[in-house]
Structure 1
Amino acid sequence: MKLSRCPRSVAAARAALSCISQISFLDQNWLASQSLYLGILFSVPALVIHFAQERAVSGLRYNNVIMRLVFLAIATGLSLAGATSADENVRAVQNKLRDDGFYSGQIDGAYSSELSAALTRYQIRHGLPITGQLDEDTSKELDAKPAVTNGSTGSEQSSETWHRLRRGQQRPSTSARQSDTAAADARETSSPRNEEPAETNTGTPSEESTQDTSSNSSEMARPPLASPATAPATGSPAPEFSTERLRDYVAAFVLAGLDRNVGAESDFFADRVEYYDQGTMDRERIRDDLKRYDERWPERHFWVAGTINLEPQSDNRVRVTFPLGFKLRNGNKTLNGKVYKTLLLEPSGSDFQIVAVNERKSE
């Protein structure tokens, strides 16, 4: 770390060292007069100042006290420099995400849920593990330093992030995003629509899924889902089924599967759902199934390994299909692979709800 990048921190540290170097030549009265200045400017505990004064009154040497204050001043300066450097790192990420059309918030160096949502969008588009954080993989892609949020704060931020994505909050409106949307729409229109039988499954990626392999749009065959008997509607999706909104919804659904609130993704389902090969299930049974899965695989990594495809249906529904890569771990047991997951969505107020879900193995 180069302190020259933080002139204010360097100046503060130098001032501290300059003041401290004078202690050997001044009496305790000077130290008392400067204690407030030192305490406020460098967060030096009052107890240390008081201890130094007592040693001066007793006729003892200042050396140990001086060294402690020197180290404390240096540590404080480095801490301020580190914080400034971290802010600059986050600002650089915010700028890049804004330029690429993923972020529309303030360039303030703050690690907020809005930034986390933008990182999730970026991870979705670039096939990175979906974490909503500036993790190692994402930071490399962005040419930045990792800044992962840990502990309860990180968990709370993760929950807030997928809620924000689900509501479609702060979707950037830029030419970069519009260009990306146009390309995505073109891929969706050109994707083949041959249907294949869906694989049997539970509420999670199949344990029989094959090892992850590369894919392209020609592999995006859509498995059948329970839907109205009438023929699918043609044309573009309704405005509420925009590519950006549905991509955010998928990101929120996947991120909720990593939430420490086990079974959080069950909130995305309708009261009754066509649930894989298990027939119609209510939300509580789905929640129980997801909890069992979370217990079986406590360490989970997911990423969208290709294009998210949209297929409008009748009755204002839409079918969303996407390749989901996964890496699961429980102790020494690991499982890697990829499935094509399909969600049938319908509007629910200003939100969506899943009325059917299925998946098939990647070939």
Structure 2
Amino acid sequence: MACGQVWPASVEVPPVAAPAPAQAEEEEDIPQGGRPVTPEMERKVRDFLERFIDAEKTPEEQAAFFTERADYYDQGYVGREEIRRDVERYMRHWPQRQYELEDISYMSADPESDRIFVSYTLGYRVARGDRSARGKASYGVVIFGLNSDPMVESIREKVAGRKPASNE
């Protein structure tokens, strides 16, 4: 199971014009106004997201996945140090975390830059002692530098289907 970081704040995922599902590897998806999303791009996005959601990373390692200043959930543009502190707080609150990349539902490559917008769903389970929570969260993320050193430039989250924390 893949692991990753899910933050407690619910943030609306920005709407995307004319959403279309990610295409099978043998097809190309040409989003309206975007450049073709190739099977190679899909593979790079999936590989990046699997590394990004790995819960075994330290707060410093997680923050390094972001650009120097990133549009971070509902906090606006923040630096890596603020992201590191946020990740550290979350890890203290939920020391046991498991995440699985369930679906990449949409990709749109910017025709003018090395940016790609990706919409994906993550299954999560978090715990602290005998308290736990599980559910699904949807994300909208802009990845910059997919063909060189990919980094998250912007991220939004919407938690859906969350089961309340319980004593198990």
**TM-score where L is the length of structure 1:** 0.36
Q: How does 1:1-363 map to 2 (within 5 A)?
A: 129-130=1-2, 204-206=6-8, 223-224=13-14, 233-237=33-37, 242-255=41-54, 257-259=55-57, 261-316=58-113, 317-347=115-145, 350-362=148-160
Q: What are structure 2's unaligned runs of at least 5 residues? A: 16-31, 162-168
**8 Å Cα contact 1:206-1:339 kept in structure 2:** no
Residue identity opposite 2:46 in structure 1: R
Residue identity opposite 1:356 in structure 2: S
Deviations 1:288-332 (A, max 9, x none): 110111111110000012235311235321111111010000011
Per the alignment, do residues 283 and 349 of structure 1 end up closer, same or farther by CA in structure 2, a change over 3 Å counting? farther
Report how many aligned residue pairs link the two structures. Answer: 143
Deviations 1:2-58 (A, max 9, x none): xxxxxxxxxxxxxxxxxxxxxxxxxxxxxxxxxxxxxxxxxxxxxxxxxxxxxxxxx
Higher strand share: 2
Q: Which runs of 4+ in 1 moved over 4 A?
A: none
Residue identity opposite 1:237 in structure 2: V
**TM-score where L is the length of structure 2:** 0.73
- The two structures, once aligned, show a CA RMSD in angstroms of 2.7
**8 Å Cα contact 1:205-1:326 kept in structure 2:** no
Q: What are structure 1's unaligned runs of at least 5 residues? A: 1-128, 132-202, 209-221, 226-231
Seq. identity, %: 23
Higher helix share: 1
Q: CA deviation at 1:223?
A: 2.5
Q: CA deviation at 1:270?
A: 0.3
